[in-house]
Amino acid sequence: MIALTPQPPYYAVIFTSIKSNEDNDYNSMSDRMVELAKQQEGYLGHESARNEIGITVSYWSSLTAIKNWKQNTEHLLAQEYGREKWYDEYKVRICLVERDYDFHYTD
Amino acid sequence: MIALTPQPPYYAVIFTSIKSNEDNDYNSMSDRMVELAKQQEGYLGHESARNEIGITVSYWSSLTAIKNWKQNTEHLLAQEYGREKWYDEYKVRICLVERDYDFHYTD
């Protein structure tokens, strides 16, 4: 689903990744991280898609909220596992969303 | 592939979409749009993934480059078609990438 974010400005974290072949526990970890992120103060929503590469964009009210999420204990552990087993490569981009616009089809 | 972007700051356009069921010419339009973007001044790269939703992130050197791209005639045409048949819904977010970091697996 497209995230229902508030009026800009707010922050986005673009996480682009290439997975390794080891898939053990990846989906349950991924689901758990979404649940945890939702409980985090300043979480505004997220969007995720994967085929050759994976892109997950999470939206946040402030840089402090992003920093707190990055340092969440269980999330730190997942980041560790991610580097050890799940990902061949990833890139994280921290962005300020300055403007947005949308379109909804109506008959 | 993960886009090889320069040191921040630079800009990102996050395009999140839900496709309609009508698929006519979607892939050829999509490929053509990527080709056009690559020829545009200030284009830095892009990343794309789709399953339930689609996420395409394109990277740009400046807001002017993004504006020029948006006004590109063929792109405008694709936007028009997009509203008519390719997408049920989409959202576009214009972002300033402030920081990034990456990880590459090495044995």
Q: Does A100 touch chain B (CB under 8 A)?
A: yes
Contact criterion met (CB < 8 Å) for B94 and A100: yes
pLDDT band at A38 (very low <50, low <70, confident <90, very high): very high
Q: Does A54 touch chain B (CB under 8 A)?
A: yes
On the question of pLDDT at B1 being above 70, the answer is yes
Query: Average pLDDT in the B12-32 region?
Result: 83
Reported as a single tens digit per residue, the pLDDT across B42-82 is 999 999 999 999 999 999 999 999 999 888 867 776 777 66
**Range among A23-27, A59-63, B38-42 rated most confident:** A59-63
The predicted model scores a pTM of 0.92
Query: What does the radius of gyration of chain B's CA atoms come to, in whole angstroms?
Result: 15
pLDDT at B72: 81
- Answer whether A2's CB lies under 8 Å from A104's CB: no
Contact criterion met (CB < 8 Å) for A89 and B48: no
Query: What does the radius of gyration of chain A's CA atoms come to, in whole angstroms?
Result: 15
For chain A, give the secondary structure using H, E and C: CCCCCCCCCEEEEEEEEEECCCCCCHHHHHHHHHHHHHHCCCEEEEEEEECCCEEEEEEECCHHHHHHHHHCHHHHHHHHHHHHHHEEEEEEEEEEEEEEEEEECCC
On the question of pLDDT at A64 being above 80, the answer is yes
On the question of pLDDT at A25 being above 70, the answer is yes
Q: CB burial class (10 A; 0-12, 13-18, 19+) of residue B54?
A: buried
pLDDT at B98: 98
Question: For testing the chain A interface, which of B44, B91, B98 should be mutated: the one with the most A CBs within 10 Å?
Answer: B91
B100 CB neighbours in chain A (<8 A) are 91-94
Helix pair angle (B73-81, B26-39), 10° resolution: 150
Contact criterion met (CB < 8 Å) for A100 and B88: no
pLDDT band at A29 (very low <50, low <70, confident <90, very high): confident
Domains, chain A? 25-95 (3.30.70.100)
Query: Average pLDDT in the A86-98 region?
Result: 95
Reported as a single tens digit per residue, the pLDDT across B27-42 is 777 788 888 889 999 9
